[in-house]
């Protein structure tokens, strides 16, 4: 069974103003793991042609005015990422050698308008990826 990493996208107003790379994780962006996934303020962006840990494959905004709770957000984030996986990688999540993880809004960031789920793929063996996973079909 694949390991699913639940990640929390914790960004305060000050962090957002000081670390634009957190807010610029668009589809196709490659990056290395941050020092800690507990409070992510800065993401080390890497050129996809260089060895890297992760690649963003989907950015989807959740809906709703009230924060639905930690468990509901994570369940929805997983579903969003699983639903978007095959379109980017060219193979279903269940068949792939890549796993998924995501950054998602917290109660605090929800209150300031953050609804974005940022889905990314990484190698199940934790080996660095060289090149894009877009259309890789593995």
- What range defines the domain where residue 97 resides? 5-123
Residue 130: inside a domain, yes or no? no
End-to-end Cα spacing for the chain:
16
Q: Does residue 131 lie in a domain region?
A: no
pLDDT tens digit sequence for 54-89 = 999 999 999 999 999 999 999 999 999 999 999 999
What's the mean per-residue pLDDT of the chain?
84
**Predicted structure pTM score:** 0.83
pLDDT for the residue numbered 42? 74
For residue 133, tell me if it sits in a domain: no
Domain count for the chain, please give it. Answer: 1
pLDDT tens digits for range 89-134: 999 999 999 999 998 999 998 999 999 999 999 999 999 999 999 9
pLDDT in tens, 21-51: 455 689 999 999 877 666 566 788 999 999 9
Name residues whose C-beta falls within 8 Å of residue 122's C-beta, 6 or more positions apart in sequence.
Answer: 53, 54, 55, 98, 99, 100, 101, 129
Residue 87 placed within a domain: yes
């Amino acid at each position: 069974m694949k390991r699913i990493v639940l990640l929390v996208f914790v960004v305060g107003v000050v962090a957002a103003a000081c670390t634009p790379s957190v807010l610029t994780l668009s589809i196709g962006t490659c990056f290395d793991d941050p020092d800690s996934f507990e409070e992510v303020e800065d993401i080390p962006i890497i050129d996809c042609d260089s060895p890297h840990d992760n690649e963003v494959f989907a950015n989807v905004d959740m809906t709703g005015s009230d924060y639905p709770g930690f468990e509901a957000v994570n369940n929805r984030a997983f579903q969003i990422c699983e639903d978007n996986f095959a379109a980017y990688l060219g193979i279903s999540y269940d068949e792939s050698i890549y796993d998924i993880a995501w950054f998602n809004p917290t109660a605090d960031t929800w209150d300031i308008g953050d609804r974005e789920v940022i889905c990314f793929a990484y190698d199940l063996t934790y080996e660095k990826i060289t090149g894009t996973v877009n259309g890789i079909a593995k």
